[in-house]
Amino acid sequence: MQWPPPWRRSPLLSASPPPGPVKGFLRPVRMSEAARLYHYVTPAESAMEGRWQTRPSLRPASPTNAPAHRQPPLANVCQQNYGAPQDPVEPAGLRSASHVTGSSLGKAEVACGSRRRWAELVPESSWSPAVGASKMKVKMLSRNPDNYVRETKLDLQRVPRNYDPTLHPFEVPREYVRALNATKLERVFAKPFLASLDGHRDGVNCLAKHPKNLATVLSGACDGEVRIWNLTQRNCIRTIQAHEGFVRGVCTRFCGTSFFTVGDDKTVKQWKMDGPGYGEEEEPLHTILGKTVYTGIDHHWKEAVFATCGQQVDIWDEQRTNPICSMTWGFDSISSVKFNPVETFLLGSCASDRNIVLYDMRQATPLKKVILDMRTNTICWNPMEAFIFTAANEDYNLYTFDMRALDTPVMVHMDHVSAVLDVDYSPTGKEFVSASFDKSIRIFPVDKSRSRYVPTSKPKTTHYSLRYQNVYFQLTSREKAAKDYNQKLKEKFQHYPHIKRIARHRHLPKSIYSQIQEQRIMKEARRRKEVNRIKHSKPGSVPIVSEKKKHIVAVVK
């Protein structure tokens, strides 16, 4: 046979048949209008039909010079459903081709173009379709743009995710490794000590925070000196010789324009916060000479009123030299007094006779008091919950009370190994910090009995006073997302032994560590003794007292 055939040599195809049968696979070819009328399957392909009975396919066919009067049945045109019989109601020109697209989302009619023709192998026959383009049904992918297209360019791109756990078999191991790394990095970068403010020539006895400026702190020393510090620059910006002897207490006015101090010289002094101008001497704005030594002072959170404590609790107006009311309950001296930051007319005090007394400034009388086993050094009110306060006790514990039910503490916080001297809440009300005579400070969550943090450095001195000051940092969106993600991972795997051990481990000083071991042995001995006493006594004769109620002696109203 001469190749290429004559009908392939010109753009117009002739209707004359080839000199011999065409062998080999068929391909789509260009056809003229005349050749399109004589479009048949070759006998060679008819002979190969037996090989394609089990897996028919859609293959191109070349035009041949078959007789024009022979035409295949329309039921065999574009039969794509793997030999399935066609629906007689459906037109012969429309057939399903779902096995081509593999989709069941939608159907579309696709017409064969005028340049290419496609036909199915028809056994023992040759046929010629009707003039014009044939059509078939095709199931196409159909998507709703509302599911993945943004409404505006400011919206986030929607990322399709499949949360099927079978598609992510190693999700939990990956998250565990990330949680472990986050826990380790938290301990590596835990360096809480920032700076030391040097300048006092004697021990610091009291501290106070500025109500409006986070960078300003006031301190009073045992030599009567008061200093104002700038935490940002970490230097002293002002020095005042306020009293003769100890400075027993210092507090700031609610607006931050002035501050008050009390000392062993039986005086209460009000000082200007900004300091004297050029050529002016350092003089107090107001001085009150009392009859007894004042051991503590605190200012009202909203009004020009402050309270002092000593032999009794006195309420003062800033414009008067005599107290507007005096309240007492007992005969021992009172060591601390604090106003409630939420219910501002309430205040509490702690005395040397182991009492914690609550007062109502409107009635000018005490409300109730609770007596503990040992003396309470100071108290602090929760700034976010009106009725909650925490007491620092001499029995190494801190007690969080609800003033509506003083017979049972809300929580007993145990970790110190010596008397707790001071306590202060964070502005969020979720944590508080305590200072102890064991030369350590600890941070406690309000709802936990154990501390979450203790300094790992060697203790050098006893902390008599401390204040909790929040410091805020600006985080980028990526830093905040990473921080939140790591926090959630640590919460998810916090009970796994390896992660729990790393998160709780602290390098304690030797002195504190040895005292902790000693206290642990003593507590275990007491517990064993109670168990043996209950075991060898008549049932019900030895009452079982919870840890919260062990240290409460009485509540007096």
Here the tokens at position 535 are 């075991």
CA distance 484 to 183: 13
Closest CA to 357 of 376, 370, 340: 370
Here the tokens at position 55 are 């897996």
pLDDT (0 to 100) of residue 243: 93
Here the tokens at position 226 are 């008061």
- Residues 138/101, Cβ–Cβ less than 8 Å: yes
Q: Which comes out higher in pLDDT, residue 54 or 440? A: 440
Tens of pLDDT, residue by residue over 240-259, are 999 999 999 999 999 999 99
Quickly state the pLDDT bin for 3 (edges 50, 70, 90): low
φ/ψ (deg, to 5) at 280: -95, 150
Partners of residue 118 on adjacent β-strands: 60
pLDDT (0 to 100) of residue 43: 55
Closest CA to 344 of 304, 404, 401: 304
Tens of pLDDT, residue by residue over 434-484, are 999 988 899 999 999 999 888 766 666 778 888 887 767 788 999 999 999
Quickly state the pLDDT bin for 145 (edges 50, 70, 90): confident
3-class DSSP string for 251-299:
EECCCCCEEEEEECCCEEEEEECCCCCCCCCCCCCEEEECCCCCCEEEE
Q: Which of 179-183, 263-267, 277-281, 540-544 is predicted least confidently?
A: 277-281
The percent of residues in the chain predicted with pLDDT above 70, rounded, is 75
The model's pTM is 0.69
Question: How would CATH label the architecture of 213-285?
Answer: Beta Barrel (2.40)
Chain Cα centroid distance, residue 68: 81
Mean pLDDT estimate for the chain: 80
Residue length, the chain? 557
111 pLDDT above the threshold of 60: no
2 pLDDT above the threshold of 70: no
Virtual torsion, Cα 426, 431, 436, 440, nearest 10 deg: -100
161 pLDDT above the threshold of 80: yes
Q: CB 237: neighbour CB atoms within 10 A?
A: 12
Sheet harboring 258-263: ordered strands across?
247-252, 258-263, 267-272, 286-289
Q: Which comes out higher in pLDDT, residue 8 or 189? A: 189
Tens of pLDDT, residue by residue over 514-536, are 999 999 999 999 999 999 999 99
Which run of H or of E encompasses 37? helix 33-37
Mark 56-65 as b/e (b = at least 16 C-beta within 10 Å): beebebbbbe
CA distance 473 to 458: 28
Instruction: For the chain, give every residue range classified as CATH 2.40.10.
Output: 213-285
Quickly state the pLDDT bin for 492 (edges 50, 70, 90): very high
Quickly state the pLDDT bin for 47 (edges 50, 70, 90): low
